Amino acid sequence: MKNNRENCFTQVNYRRFRQMLTYISLGDTGDHGTDTFIFDQAGKVRAVMQAASIDRKGRCHPSRYYINNAPLIIEDAVAA
């Protein structure tokens, strides 16, 4: 991922991840390996979830959640 102002992701806990999802108008989802990308209606990646996994040495890695730090435009607030 590019490291610019529009694509700056921060790792968060599951609760924060779910809270953020309630504030965006969900668009499509896509996956790449163990990563799931969640897009808004404008087609921008708003969140990424990395599935739990086990590496080649048998070590477990928990699920990880990331949210995009770009400002959210909440449609109800804009319409008011």
Could you state, in order of their start, the residue ranges of all structural domains in the chain? 5-69
**DSSP string over 16-68:** HHHHHHHHS-EEEEEEETTEEEEEETTS-EEEEEEPPEE-TTS-EE--EEEEE
pLDDT in tens, 4-60: 455 689 999 999 999 988 887 778 888 888 899 999 888 889 999 999 999 999 999
Confidence at residue 71, expressed as pLDDT on a 0 to 100 scale: 64
Does the model's pTM come out above 0.85?
no
